[in-house]
Amino acid sequence: MSRQVINNVAVEGMIRLSGKSAQGLVDKIIDSLQLECSLQMREQLSGYAQLLLEGLKKQRLSGERTLEGIVLKQIYDSLFPLTIIGSTKNSRILDLGTGGGLPGIPLKILLPESDFYLMDSNKRKMDFLIEVTTALGLKKISCLHGRAENWGHDINHREKYDYVFSKAVAEIAVLAELALPFIKIGGTALFYKGPRWKVEAEKAVKAIEFCGGTPDEPWHYKILTGEERVIFRIRKIEITPDQYPRSVGKPAKRPIGS
pLDDT in tens, 60-113: 777 777 899 999 999 999 999 999 987 677 899 999 999 999 999 999 999 999
* CB 114, CB 89: distance < 8 Å: yes
Minimal CA–CA distance to 162: which of 186, 190, 191, 141? 186
- The answer, yes or no, to whether the previous bond of 103 is cis (omega within 30 of 0) is yes
Cα distance between the two ends of the chain: 58
Selection from 9-23, 61-75, 244-258 with the highest mean pLDDT:
244-258
Strands 92-96 and 115-120: parallel
Q: Determine contact, residues 72/153, Cβ cutoff 8 Å.
A: no
Q: Tell me, what's the pLDDT at 193? A: 95
Supply the mean pLDDT for the chain. Answer: 90
Question: What count of Cα atoms within 13 Å lies in the side-chain half-sphere of residue 210?
Answer: 21
Residue 173 to residues 180, 191, 197, 201, Cα–Cα distance (Å): 11, 11, 11, 7
CA atoms within 13 A on the CB side of 36: 5
What's the pLDDT score for residue 20?
Answer: 53
**What sections of the chain are H helices per DSSP?**
3-21, 23-33, 39-55, 67-69, 76-79, 82-85, 104-110, 123-135, 148-151, 172-179, 197-203, 205-210, 250-253
Q: Is the pLDDT of residue 14 over 80?
A: no
pLDDT of residue 8: 42
Residue 74 φ/ψ region, left for φ over 0, alpha for ψ in the -120 to 50 degree band, beta for the rest: alpha
